[in-house]
Amino acid sequence: MRPALDRLTLTFLARRLTHSIEVEFRFQATGLSDMEPRTYLVLLTLDPHMRRVTSAMWQLVGADEASTTYSGGSKDRQLIVETELRDLFLMSQAWEQLRLSPADPFIAIDEKGRTHGTR
């Protein structure tokens, strides 16, 4: 079964680093580890020139907001979600703002195109 990403719960913050763009996604999905909806944090690092994921770190967020490193479930299912997250990010205002901008790890852009300081 294909994992189902709940786009209504999707939020992210993206930062431009020297050679990459780092995006922290938070969302609910089913079908990754089981059929119950779970909340995940996924940190993707993207190559802005090749537009590809160069690394991914997954965390499963519990009901008490404690998170643990997520390594359960199918890696193929994770890859499906990583690709979907990447594609959504590449269609966002944040991508347009960050892809050609100089590196500044202290400025983040959210899914609505708003700028946030991270100092």
pTM comes to 0.89
Token pair belonging to 28: 């609910």
Helix H, strand E, coil C: the string for 30-57 is ECCCCCCCEEEEEEEEEECCCCEEEEEE
Whole-number Å distance between alpha carbons of 12 and 41: 9
Give 33-46 pLDDT, tens digit per residue. Answer: 777 889 999 999 99
Provide the residue type at 28 as one letter: Q
- Higher-pLDDT residue of 63 and 25 is 25
- Which residue, among 99, 78, 77, 81, has the nearest Cα to 90 in the 3D structure? 99
Residue 34 φ then ψ, to 5°: -160, -170
Kindly list the domain boundaries of the chain, sorted by start residue: 4-117
